[in-house]
Amino acid sequence: SQTIHQWPATLVQPVGSPLSLECTVEGTSNPNLYWYRQAAGRGLQLLFYSVGIGQISSEVPQNLSASRPQDRQFILSSKKLLLSDSGFYLCAWSLSRNEQFFGPGTRLTVL
Amino acid sequence: QKEVEQNSGPLSVPEGAIASLNCTYSDRGSQSFFWYRQYSGKSPELIMFIYSNGDKEDGRFTAQLNKASQYVSLLIRDSQPSDSATYLCAVKYGNKLVFGAGTILRVKS
């Protein structure tokens, strides 16, 4: 069966510091991968999605970036965090079928 | 702009009652619709999906789709306190899902 991992689970970072969040999927090949952010009390905002290695589509202009160095690995990065980057970051995967499945998430607090 | 609208709630129902959650969407061409449940502090969990007009039942859950009215709903029969959560409606556009803001459901024992 498929499993999706995210780490770290929680992170507290100062403004201006860099960020790297990692997501890996097990038990499947060539998945579509997604990064979402959920601000407190808000809905899910799609940040990036990828249909293959090195293929990244950005949905919202911001100071974040994403990379997919391997088939089942998706990384979210920032060079300098802003206060507004705080939130719950969720990675998800899907195959050619429609359903998306979410990882456990990373809760980021920027102080 | 693809939009998915949900009443934020909270929707309060007594234990054992039917909870009815509703969602409307803006793009008439949408073909795939999903309901996710999100407990506080946790990630969303897929509970139902529906592609065709009509009803789809899975245990205590029934998803209803009316493409002509651009309306999708989720019914939860015999509601339990453990059903208390935020329910997210999602509509598929291409490779992406667009989510509503969610409806908070509270089941009172």
The b/e string for B31-64 (b: 16+ C-beta within 10 A; e otherwise) is ebbbbbbbeeeebbebbbbbeeeeeeeeeebbbb
The per-residue pLDDT of chain A, averaged, comes to 93
Cβ–Cβ of B43/A105 closer than 8 Å?
yes
Contacts of B43 in chain A (CB under 8 A): 90, 102-105
Nearest CA in chain B to A41: B101
Q: Which of B68, B98, B42 is nearest to A104 (CA)?
A: B42
Mean pLDDT of A16-27: 97
- What does the pLDDT look like over A67-81, one tens digit per residue? 999 999 999 999 999
In angstroms, the separation between the Cα of residue A18 and the nearest Cα of chain B is 24
Per the CB < 8 A criterion, the answer to whether B40 and B52 are in contact is no
Task: State what percent of residues in chain B have pLDDT above 70.
Answer: 100
Task: State what percent of residues in chain A have pLDDT above 90.
Answer: 85
pLDDT at B101: 93
pLDDT at A97: 65
Torsions phi, psi of A104, nearest 5? -75, -15
The per-residue pLDDT of chain B, averaged, comes to 94
Contacts of B41 in chain A (CB under 8 A): 107
In angstroms, the separation between the Cα of residue B72 and the nearest Cα of chain A is 16
In angstroms, the separation between the Cα of residue B82 and the nearest Cα of chain A is 19
Mutate: best of B97, B98, B103, B104, partner A, most A CBs <10 A:
B97
pLDDT at A60: 82
- What does the pLDDT look like over A44-94, one tens digit per residue? 999 999 999 999 999 886 889 999 999 999 999 999 999 999 999 999 999
Cβ–Cβ of A99/B88 closer than 8 Å?
no
How many residues are given for chain A?
Answer: 111
CA distances from B102 to A19, A96, B52, B107 (A): 28, 26, 22, 16
pLDDT at B71: 94
CA–CA dist B6, B100 (Å, integer): 6
The region of weakest confidence among B61-70, B77-86, B91-100 is B91-100
Tell me: pLDDT of B40 over 90: yes
